[in-house]
Amino acid sequence: MRVRKAVALFGSFLIFLVCFMIYLTLDLTVFPNRKTSIVQEFQDNKWLHFEGRLKQLENDLNKHHEEVGEIKQAMKILVPSTDSSISSGKAKKINDNFVPIEPPNTNRMPNSEIIYNDSCSFQINSVPRTNIQMLDMYKTLKFDNPDGGVWKQGWKIQVDPLSWNKQHKLKVFVVPHSHNDPGWLKTVEEYYLSQTKHILNNMIVKLQDDPRRKFIWAEISYFAMWWEDLEQDQREIVKRLIRNNQLEIVTGGWVMNDEANSHWISIMHQMTEGHQWLELNLNYTPKSHWSIDPFGMSATQPMLLKQMGLQNMLIQRVHYSVKKQLALDTNLEFRWKQIWDNTGATEIFTQLMPFYSYDIPHTCGPDPKICCQFDFKRLPGHGLHCPWKVAPQPINDVNVPQKAEMLLDQYRKKSSLYKTNVLLVPLGDDFRYNHPTEWDVQYHNYQKLFDFMNSNLKMHVQIQFGTLTDYFNAVRAEKPLSDFPTLTGDFFTYADRNDHYWSGYYTSRPIYKRMDRVLLSYIRSAEIMLALSYLNKKPNSKWITNNAAGLTKAVSEARKALSLFQHHDGITGTAKDHVVVDYGEKMLQAIKSTQNVIQHCANLFLLGPGADIPAIDIVHYNIDDIRHSHDALPEKHTITIGPELSIKRIAIFNSLPFARHEVVSFMVSTPFIEVLNFKNKKIRCQVSPVFEYGSSMSNSKYQVSFIANVPALGIVSYTINALLEFEVPRETVYSSVKIFNQYAEVQPPTGFPNIHVSPSASEFTIQNARITAAFNSLGLLKALKIATHTVPVHLDFAKYGARYGAERSGAYLFLPDGDATPLHIESTIVKVIEGPLLSTVIVQLPYVQHTVTLFNSPGADGLGLQIQNLVDIEKSSNFELAMRLSTNINSTNQYFTDLNGYQILRRVRFAKLPLQANYYPMSTMAYIEDKTTRLTVLTGSPLGCASLREGQIEIMLDRKLNQDDHLGLGQGVTDNHPTRHIFRVLLERKTHRCETTSDDHPSGFPTLSAHVASQTLLNPLVLMLRTDDDDLGMLPAYSPVTTDFGVDFTLPSLRTGLTIDEKNYIGVVLQRQHLDLCFADRILLQQFPLSDGKINISAILPPLEEQVKLNKSSLSFLHIKEGVDIRSVISMCPMDIQAFVLKR
């Protein structure tokens, strides 16, 4: 734009003129004293009472809503729909005179309740009927762990061989398997080359030797690697082995995912990666799930598997006392369903393995000493032995009668724990069957035993090798599923023996747990932007949508890196150091490549229709999140602007399906700036100094913050201009800075002459429109005030040591040396930055740089207190660091933690359990509440948490443990790195007498605030800096969304790269969250409007051609279901997940 250059020139001339005048007069008083007035304005605001502040918030909100409305209207002009009569026009720029053609469509009436119809199985007003409820079982279990004899954690099983006869035979399926971790002691590639490749190569040969032989395989990450190495004729053999049911793919996920730390969207991705690979290469659909090693079982997993069309599941690592109870009641097989499900719609048939482990000594029956003798890899000469000191013997004609009787006795005993005469006997272990002779000894010896048993009619047994689904089919043939009990709840926290609770891995290697969430958010943004680009028809270039290359390939590779990390030794932090580095490097690469996809798509959006497609190798935007290395803290760009180069263009993308009005911050090289919105109108911004070391502040780096208004799935441009000091408009506001406990003098940075420095400290407050936060003289939170209610909320940090003895805490186990002891803090410098948009308190404590921020925005960031802990425990030893929030909330012994960011379960702190057993995974949030008040903590990284005292929530931040915990890893956790965790703390009062769930409901639901604050925390606005500063007539904004969803709907995935019957599809996944509205007031419902349970998918997509087809599908897109009119309204029940495929 020539006009802009003219303005800039004229501006420069003015600047020169003014400088010259200053030089002449040397009278600095000509500068307007703007700071005083604006600081004063803020000070005045402070004294407005609460209602006044809320009124202000409401006004602000309307203003921000209007702006988003204008963007949407502008979109209708700029990006005409295919069937629209509006002329496409040449308009490319919205100027100040832009007037919306109709009132913005943002004033939908807010719902004050969650609406759903009677046909939903969802029930919260009473507890849905179930036979087994896990929290109820926990209340009655003694957890006493008596010695059960050979079955240590059980009892002496006695069976009567006469229970079986000719009509009533024991049907045994021996299922050979090999558990292949995609990374643990070796990286996935190292394992593949040294073991997995050989296992699979041998499989082809050895299964062909005898059609009675069977084998199951779970990890598609390995299978896909191997497939690449196969010749065409070998691939045909594999297909044949699958066709004739010798080989079954179980679960079919990319990995066998962790269930504590993984986010459900990542679990969905890792399953989809595997399932799509199977569909594409083998035209195969898995039926049964196999999860033998993950360390505790989540109730989210059966929900996802059911949605993917799987019919059966097998699980293994469950607390030994729970196993024993279920075994006593012959309830080891059950219909696992969701906790709110009143109709059984979510049920999936599940078997729980009864004994200690999935290895051969613990799978044939209760006595490991006997079962070990039937692990023929432990025959002399194979390098393995039986710890019970009785070695196996080769089966021959002489010993077969006695051996068969011995083995059958174990089978009969195991079978007595189940309701049917069908018995599952897994036969395998970690990385088994890697040598041809192992195949020979196992299959030969077992076949001899089978032949003997089957021909000896008095044994009344029918035994064979089987697949997992062979077993489940036989069970289903024998008994209707309705004969099995229903079960709700989960299986955390896992203990394998004694007080060995596996709650350490909820926190181990937290830097990578945080990285996992960052990568997930980048993948969401990248896949949504790419799908929208594709639907926009803009990119005709192959490099954008080609599945085998280009941006779709880049996103697909990133999904694979994320999927790999969901492995139960990945996100759990339980792999060897060099394997951890390997995961980290793969995720770093994935973050970089999704960032590249995002910046390309941002450019495509803003190029407008009809523009030429730029080349693939151009960087149009730098994402403002620099990552130099997998183990380094992310950094922000410093925007270098000044007299030479005075303008920086910025673009901000919102990956959520609702409009956002949130504070965003950038680093700039000068404090003298202005910020312009997409209409080139000056907007309010706040400039703050940046602390470097201690109390010293940078003279070359400042933080500028402003409220960005970004429509759903939209992108909006902003501009930052450098000015001379006297040009700074009144919209630019400078933070006030106070430093307490500071003895030495502080050099004020340019632009901040009035830094308040005090050698002492007193208590102080910061506030926004909703909340006032009070701090003690150490700068730690003391109380929160909402409306007229003040609640003490004491924040402190505490440490655990590792207990002494032979068994100590490690990567998996949390074995503390007692209760936590508070970190001793004597005095610390407290830095307080205050302004109209945000106020921040920064304190440096031992091991933690603790930063608390209150955003004064009408968005989700303004609903609570944001806490950033930069944790560094590198120099400690046998040390675990926790953050605690202590309140006077009468939470009794109850607390609530989420599972995989999908659902929330009620927890009870049990005195009969050790401290570490009361720790639970906190994937995205935890809360405590009483009749009036709820405190929710939201987290940006999955971590362990507990409520060890009434009114308290405690979150483990990092752990450094110098020793192995004897679970196979063979090392401690000592590779700690400085890690930045982000939390949001929400204090809410019930607005009226209201119960969302019945008192004894084992489930909880997030409040409206907690839901939107968590969504925005996990999916931050993507901040982008344009690399060239020429105005190329770019669009100022882009938004495909005509009508926002209600905030109860989320868009977990909108993606390209699906190939079904050799055609490209777009995948769409929608979820509807149930919310606890007891804490929502009128303004909140106005800020975050709810849906009426219905949704129109076309409302979030660019205008589509008539021929576009939409079908419902299973969650991993394997089962394509009925067609739906894309323009029709779709109803969804609360807690439902629904997938669709879209074909152009």
Distance, in Å, from the CA atom of 1070 to the CA atom of 882, rounded to the nearest integer, reads 35
Shortest CB 292 distance to Zn ion, Å: 8
For the bound state, the minimum distance from the C-beta of residue 220 to Zn ion, rounded and expressed in Å, comes to: 15
CB of 280 vs Zn ion, minimal distance in Å: 26
Nearer to Zn ion, 316 or 828 (CB): 316
Instruction: Between 62 and 971, name the residue whose CB sits nearer to Zn ion.
Output: 971
| Residue 293: CB minimum distance to Zn ion, A | 3
C-alpha triplet 343, 325, 909: angle, nearest 5° = 80
CB of 181 or CB of 674, closer to Zn ion: 181
- Spatial distance between the Cα atoms of 702 and 640, rounded to a whole number of angstroms: 10
Element (H, E) at 23: helix 2-25
Q: Closer CB to Zn ion, residue 359 or residue 950?
A: 359
- By beta-carbon proximity to Zn ion, the closer residue of 491 and 797 is 491
Q: Of 179 and 1001, which has the nearer Cβ to Zn ion?
A: 179
For residue 316, the minimal CB distance to Zn ion (Å) is: 10
H helix runs in 26-89, sequence order: 34-46, 50-78
Distance CA 125, CA 118 (A): 13
Pairwise CA distance, residues 255 & 188, whole Å: 11
* Alpha carbon distance 941, 310 (integer Å): 29
- Tell me if 907 sits within 8 A of 895, measured CB to CB: yes
Q: How far is the CB of 431 from Zn ion (least distance, A)?
A: 10
Nearer CB in complex with Zn ion: 293/1076: 293
Q: Which entry of 60, 258, 293, 631 is annotated as an active-site residue?
A: 293
Residue 1033: exposure state from Cβ atoms within 10 A (0-12, 13-18, ≥19): exposed
Task: Supply the minimum distance, in Å, between the C-beta of residue 362 and Zn ion.
Answer: 15
* DSSP structure class, residue 372: G
Is the Cβ–Cβ distance between 752 and 643 less than 8 Å?
Answer: no
Name the residue with the smallest CB distance to Zn ion: 293
Angle (nearest 5°) at CA 301 between 121 and 1068: 75
Write the CA distances from 444 to 210, 211, 470, 761, integer angstroms. 10, 13, 21, 79
Cβ(453)–Cβ(203) under 8 Å? no
Cβ within 8 Å of residue 99, ≥6 positions away: none
CB neighbours (10 Å) of residue 481?
16
The token duo for 625 is 């999140």
User: In whole angstroms, what is the distance from residue 278 CA to residue 282 CA?
Assistant: 5
Is residue 430 within 8 A of residue 194, CB to CB? The reply is: no
CA distance 737 to 747: 12
For Zn ion, the closer of residues 181 and 1044 by Cβ is 181
Of residues 178 and 997, the one with the C-beta less far from Zn ion:
178
CA geometry: angle at 1032 spanning 1027 and 1035, to 5°? 95
The secondary element (H helix, E strand) that includes residue 518 is helix 510-535
Here the tokens at position 284 are 């195969």
Residue 268 Cβ, how far from Zn ion at the closest point, in Å? 21
Least gap, CB of 357 to Zn ion (angstroms): 11
Q: Which is nearer to Zn ion, 181 or 796 (CB)?
A: 181
Binding stretches for Zn ion (CB under 5 A): 181, 293
Closer to Zn ion by CB, 293 or 624: give it: 293
Give the nearest distance from C-beta 363 to Zn ion in angstroms.
Answer: 15
Nearest-angstrom CA–CA distance, 687 and 664? 12
C-alpha dist (Å) from residue 507 to 920, 973, 981: 10, 11, 12
Q: Is the CA virtual torsion 143, 147, 153, 157 positive or negative? A: negative
Provide the 8-state DSSP code for 374.
Answer: G
Quote the least distance from Cβ 813 to Zn ion, whole Å.
16
The Cα 450–Cα 372 span in angstroms is 17
Between the alpha carbon of residue 523 and those of residues 303, 633, 1069, the distances in Å are 23, 20, 14
Distance CA 91, CA 76 (A): 11
817 assigned to active site: no
Our measurement of the distance from residue 247's CA atom to the centroid of its chain's CA atoms, rounded to an integer in Å, reads 33
Instruction: Please return the burial class of 166, using the count of CB atoms within 10 Å of its CB with bins 0-12, 13-18 and 19+.
Output: exposed
Contacts of 266 (CB under 8 A, 6+ apart): 257, 516, 520, 562, 563, 565, 566
Contact 692, 698 (CB under 8 A): yes
Q: How far is the CB of 563 from Zn ion (least distance, A)?
A: 16
- Residue closer to Zn ion (CB basis): 704 or 811: 811
Q: Angle at the Cα of 891 (from 889 to 895), degrees rounded to 5?
A: 125
Q: How many helices (H) and strands (E) does the chain have?
A: 21, 51
Q: Judged by CB, which is closer to Zn ion: 177, or 1026?
A: 177
Angle at the Cα of 1123 (from 1120 to 1128), degrees rounded to 5? Answer: 135
Burial class (CB within 10 angstroms; exposed 0-12, middle 13-18, buried 19+) of 690: middle
Q: How far is the CB of 180 from Zn ion (least distance, A)?
A: 8
> Which structure tokens are listed for 308?
């993917």
- So which residues are the catalytic ones? 293
